[in-house]
Amino acid sequence: MHDHGTSVQAGAVALEDGADVEVRSGGDGTVVCRIAGDLDIESLAPARKALAEVLRGGNRLVVVDLAQVAFCDSSGLNMLLTARADALAAGAVLRLAAVSHPVERLLEITGAAAVFDVRPTVPAAIAELP
């Protein structure tokens, strides 16, 4: 596993199953975190770390791009719920964007879709700044 860092600057972190986290800063208090691969108990630590760091960074809008998430279990959902709570505590807005079918299904089955601000695309998520 190669750890290229999880700083707020652009970077990527390889996850165990070939998934990764890419963090891109828009420079205007907006950050996009692209997560690809599986979000399960064995592979979500780098994603959790990246989201926590971004939310501590004073950003006002954090967009989590989930288009390339192939699998998400309850631990992945818990990570997203924790990130949402951390965003609220920090006075930031957390939006989910381009949610893949597996994540969408999990959000619907659990009822968690009602608590997230979900946008169809990353551009749609950043178009309306908080």
State the CB neighbour count (10 A cutoff) for residue 111: 8
Q: Which helix (H) or strand (E) holds 113?
A: none
Amino acid at 36: A
- The strand pair at 20-25 and 30-39 is best described as antiparallel
Q: Which two tokens stand for residue 22?
A: 């890419």
How does residue 7 score in pLDDT terms, banded at 50, 70 and 90?
very low
In angstroms, rounded to a whole number, what is the distance separating the alpha carbons of residues 92 and 130? 8
**More confident: 17 or 30:** 30
Kindly indicate the confidence band of residue 15, based on its pLDDT and cuts at 50, 70 and 90.
very low
The domains found in the chain, sorted by start residue, are 11-127 (3.30.750.24)
What is the arithmetic mean of pLDDT over 63-74? 96
Q: Which two tokens stand for residue 43?
A: 């592979």
- For residues 43 and 129, what is the distance between their CA atoms, to the nearest angstrom? 31
Name the CA radius of gyration of the chain, rounded: 13
Q: How confident is the model at residue 68 (pLDDT cuts 50, 70, 90)?
A: very high
Q: What is the model's pTM?
A: 0.85
92: DSSP letter: -
pLDDT number for residue 19: 56
State the amino acid at position 32 in one-letter form.
V
pLDDT tens, position by position, 70-125: 999 999 999 999 999 999 999 999 999 999 999 999 999 999 999 999 999 999 99
pLDDT of residue 76: 95
Strand partners, 33: 23, 64
pLDDT at 125: 96
Coil, helix or strand at residue 32: strand
Sorted by sequence, the CB contacts under 8 Å of residue 55 that are 6+ apart come out as 62, 83, 86, 87, 90, 92, 94
